[in-house]
Amino acid sequence: MSNANIPARSRRASGAPAGRRRSLSREQVIEAALEVIDNEGPQGLSLHKVAARLAVYPTTIYTYFETVDGLRDAAQSSLLEQISLPSADDDTPLREQVIRYFQSVRRLYMRHPGFMKVEIGSATWIAGLRHLDQILGALRARGVELERAWVIFRIGEGLAITSAMLARATRDPDYVAAQKEALQRYQGTDMPDVQRLLEFTSANLSPDEGFHWLLDRALEGLLPSPAQRGPRGGAARPRSRNTARRSS
């Protein structure tokens, strides 16, 4: 049977082009691969599924990627390039840079939850480690010791993942209001702290504002406040005793 006798929907499902041979870019192939990963996870990716999404023959995908592993790594690594990294050359206050970084991480996890499942030892995993090294290096260049920089990363990443998962799982845009309404049906339940918590101003923030608020509070004590910043946003250096004497 020729392609002309196959319905367009069937041709698309089989990966066959619906008409004349399509001209694809590498970016289009990567975008289709990300769609498959988002729907089926990294292990659900295949060149045939990507071809079906693009309505081309699977052999067309081989023009850009010879293996599914290469395509998976290219797709997931492309997401890292969208994240705004802290930089020692940026005059923006360090805390603002760190918050901006984890906000972009949260957006990534919300749009592409499959990115959380990166295989250890893969090229994407290596790219992620280089990414982490850049973050730690930027923090250290601004006067943050390595151990503290690592704590900052783990706290921020944990909050970003948790916030993204909650946002994806919660359909009600006003999550706090929904909880208050539900608790009203259980007035006899002894949960005074939870009920009081839901009355806090911070609890009524939008998901984006709430994440910013939580992250800012988590960074207190880990990063210098604006008043404590020294040159280029690093921790202010204490004055020497000689300097103190001269100024007294």
pLDDT for the residue 208 = 80
pTM: 0.67
Total domains in the fold of the chain:
2
| Confidence class for position 85, pLDDT limits 50, 70, 90 | confident
pLDDT at 91 over 50: yes
pLDDT for the residue 1 = 42
Contacts of 27 (CB under 8 A, 6+ apart): none
Of 68-72, 81-85, 165-169, 171-175, the range with the lowest mean pLDDT is 171-175
In this structure, the number of other CB atoms found within 10 A of the CB of residue 202 comes to 12
Please indicate, yes or no, whether residues 67 and 13 belong to a single structural domain of this protein.
yes
Please indicate, yes or no, whether residues 117 and 28 belong to a single structural domain of this protein.
no
Of 48-57, 99-108, 162-171, the range with the lowest mean pLDDT is 162-171
Averaged pLDDT of the chain: 76
pLDDT at 82 over 50: yes
Specify the CATH number for the domain of residue 59: 1.10.10.60
pLDDT for the residue 151 = 94
pLDDT at 129 over 70: yes
Tens digit of each residue's pLDDT (9 = 90 or more) over 146-175: 999 999 999 999 999 888 888 777 665 566
Please indicate, yes or no, whether residues 110 and 220 belong to a single structural domain of this protein.
yes
Domain that holds residue 42: 3-73
pLDDT for the residue 32 = 92
Please indicate, yes or no, whether residues 65 and 149 belong to a single structural domain of this protein.
no
Most confident stretch, 58-67, 176-185, 222-231:
58-67
Instruction: Identify which has the larger pLDDT, 1 or 125.
Output: 125
Instruction: Identify which has the larger pLDDT, 144 or 240.
Output: 144
Interhelix angle for 47-54 vs 68-80, to 10°?
70
Of 3-7, 74-78, 86-90, the range with the lowest mean pLDDT is 3-7
Decide if 94 is inside a domain.
Answer: yes
pLDDT at 17 over 60: no
| Confidence class for position 110, pLDDT limits 50, 70, 90 | confident
Tens digit of each residue's pLDDT (9 = 90 or more) over 18-52: 444 457 888 999 999 988 888 887 788 889 999 99
Decide if 184 is inside a domain.
Answer: no
Please indicate, yes or no, whether residues 47 and 89 belong to a single structural domain of this protein.
no
Q: Can you spell out the DSSP letters for the chain?
A: --GGGS-HHHHHHTT--SSSPP---HHHHHHHHHHHHHHH-GGG--HHHHHHHHTS-HHHHTTT-SSHHHHHHHHHHHHHTTS----TT--S-HHHHHHHHHHHHHHHHHH-GGGG-PPTTSHHHHHHHHHHHHHHHHHHHTT--HHHHHHHHHHHHHHHHHHHHHHHH---S-HHHHHHHHHGGGTTS--HHHHHHTTSGGGGS-HHHHHHHHHHHHTBTTB--GGGB-GGGPBPPPPPHHHHHHH-
Cα separation, 39 vs 37, whole angstroms: 5
pLDDT above 70: percentage of residues in the chain: 75
Decide if 248 is inside a domain.
Answer: no
